Structures are given as structure tokens and as C-alpha cells.
Amino acid sequence: MAPAMIASALLLLLAAPSSAFAPPSVNVASKAGSTEAASSRSSLFASPSDGDDVAATETRTRREVLTAVASAALSALGSVSTPNLALADEDVVTAPPPPPPIEVYPTGDVKKLYGEGRVLESQGNMNAALRIYSKVTKIAPRFVYGWSSLGNAQVALGDLRSAEGSYTEAVDLCRAKNAEVDGEGRGGRRCDDFYVLLLNRGSLRLNDGRPKDALKDLEESAVERGRPDALVLQNRARAREMNGYYFGADQDYSVAISMTSNEVSPFWLRAAMVRFQLGNTDDAFNLLRRVEVRFPEAPEVRAAGAAMRASRGEMDDARALYLKIPDRARLRFVDNDYLERTVAWPPKMKEKLREVSVAAGDLSS
């Protein structure tokens, strides 16, 4: 089934600038000290004058050298400390600006553009709606329903892989928004239809042959919904059935049927086959009869009716009903891959249908 279309909403904002640090100035005094030290060291090796002035000259020279070396050392300390400070300043990394807020309600130009997309979608112009929704997600990438609506359009156009990516963006944003409101006390409005986003992605995954991933989404969708919902139950029942959880599937189908008992729906056939798999053959057959009244010529309904009649020992009636299916459609039910992957019948239904196919001559025994 195609995922349900969703209602929508939004908001928008941008982030703050970062700061930068200027490098410190060079300590010019340190160079002067180094020059003085160099010239003083050269005086130590100068030749002294003759006589009694030698000792005094040596004493004076040593004093000058010590003074010059001390001055040079102090200057050197100053020159070393400055580059260290400069490196520390340069190593400081400013924090990245916070991301824009997650938006649930549209505003300004985004609101207008999103509204245009919804009008086009309601008119069935899905290609034009797709272009609009793609633009919305570029302008407001944190807008939940821009992504979910893009996913709806992609599903309608058969691009399931891209649709899953769009639904996942919507699911992740909605989950994060609700965590902000519920857990962090930031205020604002919740993303109240989170369960619909999960339902859409779960339904897509179910139709894309990924029953385990689908069931995970649909279980969470049921929890988020907080009360029985016929559409969630139908899809979760199907996912449980495809994962082999027939008891859980039967429970979901039964509640969904009780909520729609005045109108027979195609999913009732699935419910009947699950009951047959569980051994409740009389209940299964009674439910099937109601489906047959509503959809008497549907090939899958006739095939299921033939299989259940065979299990009741009514092989002649089963074969006659089976042969009413047009040849091309009937031969699909001979293909085990079709039964396994496309219509995904339970094992006992496949077994009984095979018996009918053999009796009708479509299969060899």
C-alpha cells in the first residue's frame, strides 16, 4: 500500500559568527640584549695592556662580561616567552556555531513555497510538487515536513530509495525535536504526528522487501500513537506476518477488523490466511467468505478460496474456482517465487494451493 500522506508545519533561524585572535607583537628589546651580549663576549678575548693594569683590566673585563651575559639572559627569557604565548593563542579553537533550530511550522517565504507544493500535490501534479519540496528542503533543511512531503512525492513517482532517505531525515528531525521539548525543557511545540512519519517509512520498507526494518518502525509507530489505530495495526500485522510472528499478526488484524467491521477491506484476506496458518480453519474460511462477497473476481481471492476449500476436502469446488482465474494470472500462482516474495503467502496456504494446482494440471505431482 502507498504510505499515508501527511499534514505539515515549520520554523527557521541562522547561527552566530565566530571570533579570531591577533598574533602578539615581536619583543624588540630582546634583540638589543642579544647584540650587547655578542659585543661583550668579543671584549673578553681582547689583548690587555702591559704592567699592573692587567689584573684590573681582567677584573673589569670579567665584570662587564657577567653584566652583559645577565642582561642577555633576561632579554632572551623575554624573547622566548612571547612566541610561546603566540603559539598558545593560535592553538585556541573557537566552538562551532550551533545548528539552526528544528522547525515544525513554516514561516515567511518557506511557508509560501511549501503551500504551493501542497496545492500541486493535491492536484496530482507530483513532478511539480517534487521540485517545490526539493527547493524547500534546500532553503530550510531543518524543516521536518519539507522532508516528509518530499518523501511522499518520491513514493508517488516510484522512487522508493530516495523516499526512504527523505523519510529518514523527517524521522530524525522529529525525534530530536521531541527530545528537546520533552527531555531538555527548551519549550516549543512537539512534532505531534511522529507516528505518521514512522508509519510512512515502515510501510515503504515493507513494500521494499525489508520486513525486519519495517517492523521496527511500525512497532515504534504504534507506541507513539498511544491508542489503537486501524492503519498502524494493518501495517504492523503485515510486518509481523512477514517476519513469521503469526500470533501477533492475528491480534493486530483482529483489532483492525473490529474497527472497520462495517466495510470489508483487502487486508481481511491477509487476516484469513494468518488464521488458517494458526489452525483456526473455520474462522479463516468464514472471514474469507466475506471477502469473496466483496471482491469475487480478484485472482488472489479466488486462489485463496481454492486453497481453503481443498483443506476442507472440497477438491472439486477448489479446482473449479481455481480454473476461473484467467490463465496468465493463474500461472503466477504456480510460481513459488511469486507466492514467497510478491504476495508472501503463509506456508500452509502455499502447500494447499500447490495441491489444487496439481489437481488442475498446472503442476506435475
Domains and CATH numbers, the chain: 1-12+99-169 (1.25.40.10), 193-263 (1.25.40), 271-365 (1.25.40)
Mean pLDDT check: name the lowest of 45-54, 252-261, 322-331, 356-365. 45-54
45 has pLDDT over 80:
no
- Asked if 356 and 315 count as a contact pair (C-beta separation under 8 A), the reply is yes
DSSP 103: B
> How many Å is the Cα radius of gyration of the chain?
40
pLDDT, position 188: 74
Whether residue 110 has pLDDT greater than 50: yes
Q: Retrieve residue 66's grid coordinates.
A: 657577567
Please write the tens of the pLDDT for every residue from 123-136.
999 999 999 999 99
Q: Please compute the mean of the pLDDT values over residues 153-177 and round it to a whole number.
A: 96
Q: Which residues of 288-313 are buried (b: 16+ CB within 10 A; e: fewer)?
A: beebbeebeebbbbbbbbbbbbbbee
Question: Residue 69 has what pLDDT?
Answer: 37
Average pLDDT, the chain: 80
User: Which residues touch 161 (CB under 8 Å, ≥6 apart)?
Assistant: none
- The percentage of residues in the chain with a pLDDT greater than 90, rounded to a whole number, is 66
What is the pTM assigned to this prediction? 0.72
Run of H or E including 183? helix 160-183
What distance, in Å, lies between the first and last C-alpha atoms of the chain?
35
- Comparing 180 with 137, which gets the higher pLDDT? 137
Rounded CA-CA distance 233/219 in Å is: 9
Cell of 190: 512537539
Q: Is the pLDDT of residue 40 over 70?
A: no
How sure is the predictor about 94, in pLDDT bands with cuts at 50, 70 and 90? Answer: confident
Helix (H/G/I), strand (E/B), else coil: 260: coil
pLDDT of residue 185: 61
Closest by CA to 139, choosing from 164, 114, 116, is: 114
Bridge partners of 103, per DSSP, are 143
Q: Give pLDDT, residue 189.
A: 83
Task: Quote the pLDDT of residue 365.
Answer: 77
